[in-house]
Structure formats: structure tokens, C-alpha cells
Chain A
Amino acid sequence: GQSLEQPSEVTAVEGAIVQINCTYQTSGFYGLSWYQQHDGGAPTFLSYNALDGLEETGRFSSFLSRSDSYGYLLLQELQMKDSASYFCAVHPGSARQLTFGSGTQLTVLP
């Protein structure tokens, strides 16, 4: 089976840096994705890691350690609009279904 664990809530202030961790246990692993979802909205793709290391996309970075079954999403220079739920999701195989964590609710305070 598959299971992913991530914190349920994180709070930070505008301009700060926040890290959202994700640990996973899966029967197959092809990569780890991160999605952002605002209340009532669709999940929006943020980043994808298939290999160990750091991927940077603007203010967002994502890290993967396959040997530790661990990844994180790093958000820098937080803005109010970053308040949303963030999900890590495992790809058990190429072009296959995503298995999502329960999500981390990020609240950015002024």
C-alpha cells in the first residue's frame, strides 16, 4: 500500500520562509509532486522530483531523498496569497495515478 505523512497545519508570517515535510511509504516510487490548492479551487501543480536533490522554481523549491523516503517543499518570501493547502503526492509509476497526502494547511499572517 501507499501512505504519506505531512503536517496538518503550518503558520508563518509574510516574508518568512517555511518548509513543509513529507515522508512516504509506497510499494513503487517514480517521483514526488507537490500541489497547491486554495479553498474551493483545483489543485495546481508546483513541482516534481524524480531524482535526489533540490529543484527550484521561483520562490518555491522542492527536495527529495529517495533513500530516506522523504521530501520537502520550501516556500520563500511568503505572501498572503500563499495561504492554501499543500499536498505531496507520490507517483507509484510513470503516467500512473497519484497518491496524495492529507495536505498541510498553510496560513500566512501579516
Chain B
Amino acid sequence: GAVVSQHPSWVICKSGTSVKIECRSLDFQATTMFWYRQFPKQSLMLMATSNEGSKATYEQGVEKDKFLINHASLTLSTLTVTSAHPEDSSFYICSATPGPGGEQYFGPGTRLTVT
């Protein structure tokens, strides 16, 4: 079946530094990848949608200059949290879909803690 991986699975960084999270589709080409954020005991909130080779589309309220998304290939998207602050601590989940209307396959998530 379709597998999506994320790296790292957890990361601790200091306030003010930047952190990059990778999302890879291992056995299919993902024309679109999605990035979600999940706070403890809450639902997933869509942050942005990225299509391979084009700029990401950010949801309202999400700072595009803070959460940099790159979808450079059909199997890799990256989310970089720039100048991280403690309030950015969260669980970040990506998903990938092979094409329009296709099912979304979710990664295992990345736990980010900013100290």
C-alpha cells in the first residue's frame, strides 16, 4: 500500500532556530502534499497545500514566511519552521495524494518541541 514517511519523528530545538521536517511518499508519486498541525487533544488543522513545482497555498492565518514549504519533487515536500518559538511546539502531520480526487495517505507525524 501507499506509504508516507516523515523525518524526524521528533525534534527538540531552541527558540530562535529553524527546523526542517521532511515528508516523503515512498511508493508513489505525490502530485499534492498537505501539511497539518495538531495541538494536544485537538483535531488536525490544515496549514497549507503544496503542489510539485509550484508555490504552496497557505490557509488563512498561517504565516507563509514562518512556515516555509517546498515541494521540489514528486516524492518529497519539506516544511521549515523558521525562528521557532515555544508556541510553535506541536505535532505536524503531512499527507500525500497521487492525483486529483485521490486518497490522502498520512505520514506518522513529527513532534516538535521548542524550548
**Interaction A to B:** no
Give me the interface of A with B, judged by CB distance under 8 Å. none
Give me the interface of B with A, judged by CB distance under 8 Å. none
